[in-house]
Structure 1
Amino acid sequence: MIIVTGATGQLGRAVVRNLLHRVSADQIAVSVRDASKASDLAAQGVEVRVGDFTDVDGLARAFANADQVLIVSADKLGEDALRLHRSAIHAARSAGVRRILYTSHMGARAGSPFLPADQHAGTEAELAQSDLAYTSLRHGFYAESCLQMIGDDLASGELRVPEDGPTSWTARADLAEGDAAILVADRDWNGITPPLTGTTAITMAEIAVIASNVTGREVRHTIISDDEWRNARIAAGMPSFYADILLGVFRAARRGDFAATDPTLETLLGRPPRTMREVLSTAIA
């Protein structure tokens, strides 16, 4: 049996939808905090179990009889995230799970200027020390996250951002489909996967050109200092902690942390992954 955590979130729910195209519903269960939010999955024959990363014993019961568990990374930051992931790993061990799959990030690096990338590296280290078989799914940077970061600038006609570097933005829907393919693959994917990314890495300057072409109006690209960008975000109401996290995206990108591309995701999908142009066109439509 495959158990998916976080199945009421965007990624987890999409993974389950894709699994339902590949295996029968009786081979899938989900572990969620609020079962009422997974009623649509239950209606399709998916077993809904209640599990919480803060309750190791309860989570172990939710993982009972699982062959594989997909741990969708927690929507927390720093030590809070590491603690929750550690609890999920311990619960999987207690339940006798054969393999853990974990949704990591292509830029996972200890000490990364992008805090989530540092915490993903920490969880990967925990998995390596767990004595369990594991697969760390090195997801490309969500294209949807890029649009959230720069959407207001695109609307204004000027993309005012710090210096960056090429980033292989990847559609969440494609990653969910790739994850499902790995979960049902004939072979085990041991350890850390290659980067699961789109086929190209692009800069903010290139995104401005794409946006100009898609919208039919000019979107200028202007490089500003890190401090100017951070201060503008805080002045607009963003908490300083989150402004620092997002600034870390640019700092890590210009080190090349998100520049890798790899054909693995395209092979899993059997087609090219969606491009940033396609993602942007869909968002505008």
Structure 2
Amino acid sequence: MIVITGASGQLGRLVIEELLTSVPANQIIAAVRTPAKVADLAARGVVVRQADYSQPATLDAAFAGATQILLISSSEVGQRLPQHQNVIAAAKRANVSLLAYTSLLHADTSPLGLAAEHVATEQALKASGLPYAILRNGWYTENYTASIPPALQYGVLLGSAGDGKIASATRSDYAAAAAAVLRTPNQAGKVYELAGDTAYTLTEFAAELTRLSGKAIAYQNLPQADYAKALLDAGLPDFLAELLADSDTGASKGALFDDSRQLSQLIGRPTTPLATAIAAAL
């Protein structure tokens, strides 16, 4: 039995879709805070169990009979470590053969503010004695394609990444990698640095958007504080605006770049090209 936590989220759903291509539905457990959100998966035969990272008793019930677990990192920044520690402890009680965790690209050396909770979780995994695999996911291309509507409206793409190279990949690419690790034996102890095959700057992103949309889009680089304010003015919550601005600035320092191609090697195909992702968003 393979457990996918956070299964109602965008990444979790994609991992389950990948697994369903080769794993019987009744061997997949969708562990979610609100089971009603995955009624469609239950209708397809996937086992649905209630699981809340902050309520250990629900985790014990959700992990009963599990052999492998994918811990998709919590979306609650600032609360991630205790939540992840609850999952790790429950996985240990369930005596699983593998606990895979979605971490951050080069987490141990990353300048991103996001890295601290991932590093602490990785340390907790190593200290647990459980067989584990760490999937250090790079940036989602969708984090930038989400900016396409305002870019088209105003003719400008804002950011604070400078000329930093961004080796992003799509959620479906990372989902395929997670599914591959869960399906493949002898993954214990492996740490994967996962990123897109081809990197780009935000100037190049704007140029590709110009080409595909037929509308001239320029990239405007801003100081981190100014970019955070622009995101706030656009209606993003404080924490998210600060997080994205910090991450963009980190990109200017190389935090979102990796050229090892471990992701495409793991999934057995090239990662989704930027042009394909932009065209899909358009």
Name the TM-score class by shorter chain.
over 0.9
Contact 1:30/1:47, CA 8 A, preserved across alignment: yes
Structure-1 separation of matches of 2:231 and 2:129: 43
- Aligned CA distance change for structure 1 residues 146 and 129 (closer, same or farther; 3 Å): same
The answer to whether the 8 A contact 2:160-2:223 is kept is: yes
Tell me, what secondary structure is at the counterpart of 2:114? helix
For 1:150 and 1:200, the matched residues in 2 are separated by 20
Mapping of 1:89-128 within 5 angstroms? 89-109=88-108, 112-128=110-126
Cα distance in 1 between the residues matched to 2:135 and 2:86: 19
Q: Tell me the TM-score normalized by structure 2.
A: 0.93
Whole-Å Cα distance in 1 between the matches of residues 29 and 225 of structure 2? 46
C-alpha spacing 1:25/1:237, structure 2 compared with 1 (3 Å): closer
The answer (yes or no) to whether the contact 1:61–1:95 under 8 Å persists in 2 is: no
Structure 1 residue ranges (4+ consecutive) displaced by more than 4 angstroms after TM superposition: none
* Shift of residue 77, structure 1, vs aligned partner: 0.3
> What number of residue pairs does the alignment pair up?
281
Task: Please give the per-residue CA displacement for 1:193-231, whole angstroms capped at 9, x wherever unaligned.
Answer: 1x2221011111110111111111211122222232223
CA contact (8 A) 1:104 1:139 kept: yes
| Per-residue CA distance 1:51-81 (angstroms, 9 max, x = gap) | 2111112211210111111111111102x11
Residue 124 of structure 1, CA deviation: 1.0
Kept after mapping to 1: 8 A contact 2:147/2:157: no
Percent sequence identity is 35
2:268 aligned partner? 270
Task: Return the offset for 1:147.
Answer: 2.0
Pairwise CA RMSD: 1.8
> In structure 2, how many angstroms separate the alpha carbons of the residues matched to 1:11 and 1:51?
17
Q: Tell me the TM-score normalized by structure 1.
A: 0.92
Q: How does 1:203-218 map to 2 (within 5 A)?
A: 203-218=201-216
DSSP-derived class of the 2:119 partner: helix
Superposed counterparts of 1:234-249, under 5 Å: 234-249=232-247
List per-residue Cα deviations over 1:153-196 (Å, max 9, x = no partner). 34421123224311111100111112111111133252321x22
**Unpaired segments of 5 or more residues in structure 2?**
none
User: Are the structure 2 counterparts of residues 73 and 163 from structure 1 closer, same or farther at C-alpha, using a change threshold of 3 Å?
Assistant: closer
Query: Alpha-carbon deviations, 1:61-107, whole Å to 9, x = none?
Result: 210111111111111102x1111111111111112222111111214
Which whole-Å CA distance do the structure 2 matches of 1:189 and 1:209 have between them? 42
